[in-house]
């Protein structure tokens, strides 16, 4: 997780895994407005390192990453960190991809482009 100010231990942590830096910034800004602690990485290998350092409650993961498919990484997260909630975010919003993501363990599937309201509603559903 990226260093920051000391936080309350009750603050929810979110890891964003996306190779588009602007998406990382956007998601991070939106989530920080809801008092969530965010960090982001751009590859699956960096995600593995980040998960080993600090376990987030929620992971937002893109499907098409430089070193593999996020879809295939969902099962790794679920197998090793079963309490972590996973939100697949992708521009390839097909019913087949949506069904596959949910079947491998994603808790939510959001197509790009997304809205602030969709992100907030998803986080609210995951944390209630």
Residue-wise pLDDT for 101-120, tens only, equals 999 999 999 999 999 999 99
How much of the chain is helix, strand and coil, in % rounded to 5?
40, 25, 35
What pairing do the DSSP bridges indicate for beta strands 58-62 and 85-90? Answer: parallel
Question: What pLDDT is stored for residue 50 in this prediction?
Answer: 97
Average pLDDT over residues 59-78: 96
Average pLDDT over the chain, rounded to an integer: 91
When pLDDT is cut at 50, 70 and 90, the band that residue 8 belongs to is very low
Round to whole Å and give the CA distance between 91 and 111: 6
Model-wide pTM > 0.95: no
The predicted-structure confidence for 17-59, as pLDDT tens digits, reads as follows 999 999 999 999 999 999 999 999 999 999 999 999 999 999 9
Domains assigned to the chain:
13-127 (3.40.50.2300)
């Amino acid at each position: 997780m990226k260093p920051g100010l000391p936080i309350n231990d009750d603050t929810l942590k979110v890891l964003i895994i996306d190779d588009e830096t602007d998406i990382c910034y956007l998601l991070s800004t939106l989530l920080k407005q809801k008092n969530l602690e965010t960090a982001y990485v751009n590859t699956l290998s960096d995600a593995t390192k980040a998960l080993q350092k600090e376990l987030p409650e929620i992971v937002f993961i893109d499907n098409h990453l430089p070193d593999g498919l996020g879809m295939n990484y969902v099962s790794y997260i679920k197998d090793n960190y079963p309490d972590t909630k996973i939100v697949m975010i992708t521009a390839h919003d097909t019913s087949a991809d949506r069904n596959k993501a949910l079947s491998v363990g994603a808790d939510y599937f959001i197509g790009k482009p997304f809205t602030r309201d969709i992100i907030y509603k998803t986080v609210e559903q995951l944390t209630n």
